[in-house]
Structure 1
Amino acid sequence: MSINLEFHAFAGNPQSSKFSFSGDTLSPSAALKTLNARITLNNADSSPSPSFKVLAFRNGRPLASSAAGSGDSPPIWRLGWLGLDDLRGILDNSRSGAELSVDSLVYLSSSAENDAVYWAIDVSDEAPELGYKDMGLCFVELRTLMVATDWSDSQAMGNLAIAGQAKALLEWHNVSRFCGRCGEKTVLMEGGRRKQCSNDSCKQRIYPRVDPVVIMLVIDRENDRALLAKRSMPMPRLYTCLSGFMEPGESLEEAVRRETWEETGIEVGDIVYHSSQPWPVVPNGIPCQLMVGFFAYAKSLEITLDKKELEDAQWYSREDVRKTLTFAKYKQAQRNAAAKVEQMCEGLGKNPSFASDLNVESADEHAPIVVPGPFAIAHHLIYSWAFSDHNVVNGVECNSK
């Protein structure tokens, strides 16, 4: 079964082209000034353009809604954008009782085409019940939405990318509350797109930084095999590519070679770039990751496992890997997660665990292992190699026209 993807999950943000801050689009500072004026004048959300749309997060979970799919299609989730009046309700009912303020808002984008300005806000410290469920909205783990997203639906993929960018920015704000140079509190600048130290003698400028992570499929050319590894995870058969953080003063290629050697004792020669993917679904404290994918060709084959990092690592033949890539099981996981989102938004279920969303263990009992789904760059690295004799672009088998 083939799929059609234009970009990786969390990439292809449809709002990213609106960041030029030129022409009819608003700069972050101008957007914040306009929003402050609207709030000060107590204008209704129906007042003249632009309109303001706010995406709320609680504990890293974006606000979402769910709608029934057409025919036998699964439910479709959507971002739970709030209007200006909803924003007033959030801020007026804050636990701290603070006056109405927009200091906690983070600018995402503005669109001349839609005549709208988009923001994100963290409401983790607000009162737990603010009428979201009455609006058919609920806070859902971004990983759950990731699994629930139909990867062939460009609009749904775009919503996932917007939510990923917003989460990364809000998490960056959470971990940069204090200046790393002098320790004083930081303040938001330019609509939250940067921060600055509040100490007049310091005034350090602080910008979001992206932590690159190398992820590589190690390949044994001579024996037509790929190296897959298992980390400590709830799914006992889930195997994936090796990966690791870069170290200071290290190139991407050097990081690939070092991480492969440290974790498996395999020496790598040639390295070929594949693609990259934003990855905001990481533990708190690492807000902005970029997965940079490579094919790495082995010069040695004997595995010496670092058991502190990995539970297992094995060479798998191309045929064995192909058996794991049965898209029916990923489609079923997507349907299950989409149904859970719908139940949560109807107030019928709790936020599911990520492991339960990925319950594909019984989908193909004859496959020796399970590999990550199409939402992960690891999947596309593995798929590209396994079907390298097919018409494949970035891990996607393209239909012939």
Structure 2
Amino acid sequence: MLCLLSSSSTSHVLSLYKIFSLQSLILTRPSSHLPFSTMSINLSSHAFAGNPIISKTPKPSDPFSPNSAFQTLKTLLSSHTHEPSSPNFKVLPFRKGRPLARSTGDLAPNWHLGWLSLGDCKTLLENSEVNLIEESLVYLGSKSEDDVVYWAIDVSEASGLVNELGSRQFCFVELRTLMVATDWVDARAMGELAIAGHARALLEWHNISRFCGHCGGKTVPMEAGRRKQCSNESCKKRIYPRVDPVVIMLVIDRENDRALLSKQSRFVPRMWSCLAGFIEPGESLEEAVRRETWEETGIEVGEVIYHSSQPWPVGPSSMPCQLMVGFFAYAKSLEINVDKEELEDAKWQSREDVKKALALAEYKKAQKTSATKVDHMCKGVEKGQSLSADFNVESGELAPMFFPGPFAIAHHLISSWANQVGVNGVEAKQPTSSLSSL
């Protein structure tokens, strides 16, 4: 996580690690393997999880519910009033998949989402000759205690907004850049990242589901954009937001002292990560882990144990609704046969080498650099420092390898195995059985 150069900094990193936890998960070795009693991991919500505005859906009669809020929205837009409403509406614009953001500009820059009032959003769009209609807004959630309902809108067609918002020190920023720039120990920042990820996934789903896959008819938003319906009277098929499940697994050898790590051609130099792959129809999660591992590396997997899951809205634009489902997978064979069409390379890495790479990689430095980049973008400064150069040892030499940062589930799969982190440092008792081996 951070650069580990002393026992005090090691303690600090373990403390930060425990912040990432929603649930306690007990990870065990099969009895046929050499002793590795247990690891118990306390993970807080991963990046893009823990969305603070979608924890509960209000009842239909509640003014904060999607349908009630949508009716209020229609009334406000048809009355041409800019008067404040209750609940108050805040709108997050997106342009080509990029959310609007701003920066505090403090000594330690921190980004925030660029929320606009409904009236401000309407005026800005009218200045760009775009008419704001209620169907273009997508319901994101609400906070009744703050009397606020949150919406997202795609403003890609309103090109004039870029300069106008730029004059206010707002900028449309890639979600991946915001992901790296987010201080993962800042609950507010993690919450805003989750909101942005949810909004991007919903808006992209709207963009790619404009027509019914059953009859080809045009689809129309329903329930404030939370679903769509075919407009063909003889069809009227309901369409719901898609989720694309992906298994991601850290494969571990029999002795539990090596992990199988892979490199893809699209990775930056020296970066290694876990294996991953999409789930096939009619396939269980455990079967997908075994199949993908075999197809990509020729390694046969036995027991598969669940770790945690993470929404991942920063994949390709056509697949912003991925759900990463993380596992530990225990190898039954060791010989690697890499599928070069899938991977550039795959190697067994020792626990000590993995721990060393985690200790040397300057994830916090990359986070600060990216936050500064966002700050510069919001202020109109075009040049930014390359992030790939920030995973170096402090001496200035290149680290032999590094892994995705704390914003990725791969990081937590790798670091939890390497450090065998237990709850408060105490190993948990081993469960009597596991369905994962079925």
TM-score by shorter chain over 0.5: yes
The unaligned stretches of length 5 or more in structure 1 are 394-401
Find the aligned partners of 2:424 and 2:236 in 1 and give their Cα distance. 50
Deviation at 1:202, TM superposition (A): 0.8
1:59 paired with 2:96, answer yes
Give secondary structure in 2 for the equivalent of 1:20: coil
Q: Name the CA shift for 1:187/1:223 in 2 (closer, same or farther; >3 Å).
A: closer
Question: Which residue of 2 is the match for residue 338 of structure 1?
Answer: 371
Query: For structure 1, which segment, 320-329 or 163-172, has the greater mean C-alpha deviation from structure 2 after superposition?
Result: 320-329
Residues 264 and 304 in structure 1, CA contact (< 8 A), matched pair in contact too: yes
Question: Which residue of 1 is the match for residue 82 of structure 2?
Answer: 44
Find the aligned partners of 1:258 and 1:392 in 2 and give their Cα distance. 36
Find the aligned partners of 1:289 and 1:140 in 2 and give their Cα distance. 20
Q: Which amino acid aligns with 2:392?
A: S
1:33 corresponds, among 64, 68, 71, to 71
Question: Which residue of 2 is the match for residue 396 of structure 1?
Answer: none
Give CA deviations for 1:92-145 in whole Å, capped at 9, x if unaligned.
Answer: 244xx4544121110011221110110000011112335211222100000000
Find the aligned partners of 2:77 and 2:63 in 1 and give their Cα distance. 20
Q: Which amino acid aligns with 1:376?
A: A
Deviation at 1:43, TM superposition (A): 2.2
Taking only the aligned residue pairs, the percentage that are identical comes to 62
Find the aligned partners of 1:389 and 1:43 in 2 and give their Cα distance. 56
Residues 70 and 224 in structure 2, CA contact (< 8 A), matched pair in contact too: yes
1:114 paired with 2:146, answer yes
Question: Which residue of 2 is the match for residue 269 of structure 1?
Answer: 302
The unaligned stretches of length 5 or more in structure 2 are 1-9, 21-43, 426-438
Question: Which residue of 1 is the match for residue 237 of structure 2?
Answer: 204
Question: Which residue of 2 is the match for residue 397 of structure 1?
Answer: none
Find the aligned partners of 2:59 and 2:142 in 1 and give their Cα distance. 8
Paired residues in the alignment total 384
RMSD, matched Cα: 1.9
Give secondary structure in 2 for the equivalent of 1:336: helix
Query: For structure 1, which segment, 105-114 or 267-276, has the greater mean C-alpha deviation from structure 2 after superposition?
Result: 105-114
Q: Name the CA shift for 1:61/1:389 in 2 (closer, same or farther; >3 Å).
A: closer
Find the aligned partners of 1:214 and 1:20 in 2 and give their Cα distance. 32
Give CA deviations for 1:273-327 in whole Å, capped at 9, x if unaligned.
Answer: 0000000001111121100000000000000000000000000000000011137
Residues 324 and 370 in structure 1, CA contact (< 8 A), matched pair in contact too: yes
Q: Which amino acid aligns with 2:371?
A: A
Give secondary structure in 1 for the equivalent of 2:325: strand
Find the aligned partners of 1:327 and 1:8 in 2 and give their Cα distance. 22
Q: Which amino acid aligns with 1:104?
A: S
Residues 303 and 313 in structure 1, CA contact (< 8 A), matched pair in contact too: yes
Question: Which residue of 2 is the match for residue 398 of structure 1?
Answer: none
Give CA deviations for 1:215-254 in whole Å, capped at 9, x if unaligned.
Answer: 0000013261000000012512110000000000000000
Residues 25 and 112 in structure 1, CA contact (< 8 A), matched pair in contact too: no
Find the aligned partners of 1:249 and 1:219 in 2 and give their Cα distance. 26
1:133 paired with 2:171, answer no
Find the aligned partners of 1:15 and 1:357 in 2 and give their Cα distance. 31
Q: Name the CA shift for 1:170/1:294 in 2 (closer, same or farther; >3 Å).
A: same
Question: Which residue of 1 is the match for residue 264 of structure 2?
Answer: 231
Give the TM-score normalised by the residue count of structure 2: 0.84
After the TM superposition, which residues 150-189 of structure 1 pair with which residues of structure 2 at under 5 Å, given as runs?
150-189=183-222
Give CA deviations for 1:141-181 in whole Å, capped at 9, x if unaligned.
Answer: 00000000000000000000000000000010011011000
Deviation at 1:184, TM superposition (A): 1.4
Residues 25 and 110 in structure 1, CA contact (< 8 A), matched pair in contact too: no
1:357 paired with 2:357, answer no
Give the TM-score normalised by the residue count of structure 1: 0.91
Give secondary structure in 1 for the equivalent of 2:138: strand
1:8 corresponds, among 29, 33, 46, to 46
Q: Which amino acid aligns with 1:334?
A: Q
Deviation at 1:392, TM superposition (A): 7.5
Q: Name the CA shift for 1:91/1:367 in 2 (closer, same or farther; >3 Å).
A: closer
Residues 237 and 361 in structure 1, CA contact (< 8 A), matched pair in contact too: no
Q: Which amino acid aligns with 2:101?
A: A
Find the aligned partners of 2:62 and 2:75 in 1 and give their Cα distance. 19
Query: For structure 1, which segment, 3-12 or 138-147, has the greater mean C-alpha deviation from structure 2 after superposition?
Result: 3-12
